[in-house]
Structure 1
Amino acid sequence: MTDYDAILFDNDGVLVEPPSRETLREAARTAFEAVGVDDADERHVEDVMYGVTPELLGRVCDHYGLDRAAFWEARDRRAAAAQRTEFREGERDRYDDVAALADLDHDFGVVSSNQHLTIEFVVEFFGFEKLFDTYYGRELTVESVRRKKPNPHYLERALADLDTESALFVGDSESDVEAADRAGLDSAFVRRSHRADLELSVDPTYEVEDLWGVAEIAGRT
């Protein structure tokens, strides 16, 4: 069994339930309205609600003659606000198996492609301050879209904070596995119910059903 000094976690779908598609869709729709587009094509709303790339963002903004930075900030702020509402109203919660981490003697961090505003809220809302030594989400900038996983940018920043090279990254997506590989880390893919049918084209170091499985990998006794 490999010894790890630190374990890094994706947020959505790993530590907390993922946001609903309707929440992200409505946030994208109102972002268009905020910058003066009241009749955005539904295809363009879908384009920017989840998994957007800089190139796709550019094409959508050019179609409407929008400033990319202004539109993206509007989109991200609304997405972050909508997610806070989900948590506060009990529509979204942490996973119970976060308890599996309590007895592990490791440094912990969070690395997400969600907004840093959202990650800050999650850490405070669920009382994660004592559990996680560092955490990163995206800034509200177009440049941050280029730094999303599988880019290892935020992983590398977290590793620098923890001053470790022996770490495991736990995620629930192909981009998480790819980011870990690019950062030279082992990966654990968590196949929760929302990932039951996902076929990966990359091989994680481990595959587990939940965070209890991660605890076993880390050597919990």
Structure 2
Amino acid sequence: MLRALIFDVDETLVYYEGYDHREWYEKWVMPALRERGIELDYETYRKTVTGELPRSYVERFGIDHVEFWRIVDSVNLEYRKRMAELGRIKPFPDVDALEELKKMGLKLAAVSNASQECTEFVLNLFNLRKYFDVIYGKDYSNLDGVKPDPYLVKKALKALDLRPQEALMVGDSHHDVLAGKRADMKVVNVTRFGKVEGADYYVNDLWELVELVKEMLED
């Protein structure tokens, strides 16, 4: 029996107009690192984000890796605040579907690779926080436990007291699909930016997700 949905946040519920990962890193993060005497090129940083290198890899540049990621996340929060001021963070027009899902008696969780503060900031920005029973950003005690690792997804399942079979993972990216599958869950890929191989279900938007959930609850 389906009892809950676990959502990705960025690019699933909200998006950032004009966002470019490399540009963000070089314009926002690199200056903050240089202030602390750290030189880290974009490609090395990218590999730590995608999981090709562990997040602790940055310690060879002379900084504690937890401190490093706290710096990155504090910069990211400032970036999000600035983008919000400029009106460049936007909710997808179908986020109202969250209210419909709540009316159906489902529990909702949000799980993001961004920090807890960054995740809550964006959800609060559009009054989406109220829909979620559980929200988890990256965990500084387990920094490699971000998607595609299932750690955060399993943490949400545990908080909701649910078995993997009782929830769906919903997201837009390869990392979301892998994290859900590694947590033994069925996964819904929201195909805003194209299909990701390996998902169990595909929907164009969150209203299609509502219809899918209704069918599942009727079975």
Q: What TM-score results when the alignment is normalised by the length of structure 2?
A: 0.83
- 1:53: Cα distance to partner? 3.5
- 1:55: Cα distance to partner? 3.2
* Alignment of 1:203 onto 2:198: yes
Partner residue in 1 for 2:213: 218
- 1:36: Cα distance to partner? 1.6
Counterpart of 1:110 in 2: which secondary structure? strand
Of 71, 74, 82 in structure 1, the residue corresponding to residue 71 of structure 2 is 74
Contact 1:7–1:108 (Cα < 8 Å) also in 2: yes
Q: How many residues align?
A: 207
Gaps of 5+ in 2: none
**Alignment map for 1:1-221 (pairs within 5 Å):** 3-18=1-16, 19-21=19-21, 22-37=23-38, 40=39, 44-48=41-45, 51-53=49-51, 55=53, 57-62=55-60, 64-104=61-101, 105=104, 106-139=106-139, 141=140, 143-165=141-163, 166-192=166-192, 195-196=193-194, 200=196, 202-219=197-214
Relative distance call for 1:66 and 1:103 in structure 2 (3 A) is closer
Larger deviation, residues 4-13 vs 47-56: 47-56
Q: Distance in 2 between matches of 1:98 and 1:160?
A: 25
Structure 2 residue identity aligned to 1:29? M
Q: Where do 4+ consecutive residues of structure 1 move more than 6 Å?
A: none
Relative distance call for 1:55 and 1:23 in structure 2 (3 A) is closer
RMSD: 2.4
Contact 1:17–1:94 (Cα < 8 Å) also in 2: yes
Counterpart of 1:98 in 2: which secondary structure? coil
The sequence identity of aligned pairs, in percent, is 29
Counterpart of 2:137 in 1: which secondary structure? strand
Gaps of 5+ in 1: none
- 1:25: Cα distance to partner? 3.5
Structure 2 residue identity aligned to 1:123? L
Q: Distance in 1 between matches of 2:177 and 2:33?
A: 32
Relative distance call for 1:134 and 1:60 in structure 2 (3 A) is closer
Q: Distance in 2 between matches of 1:145 and 1:179?
A: 15
Contact 1:86–1:92 (Cα < 8 Å) also in 2: yes
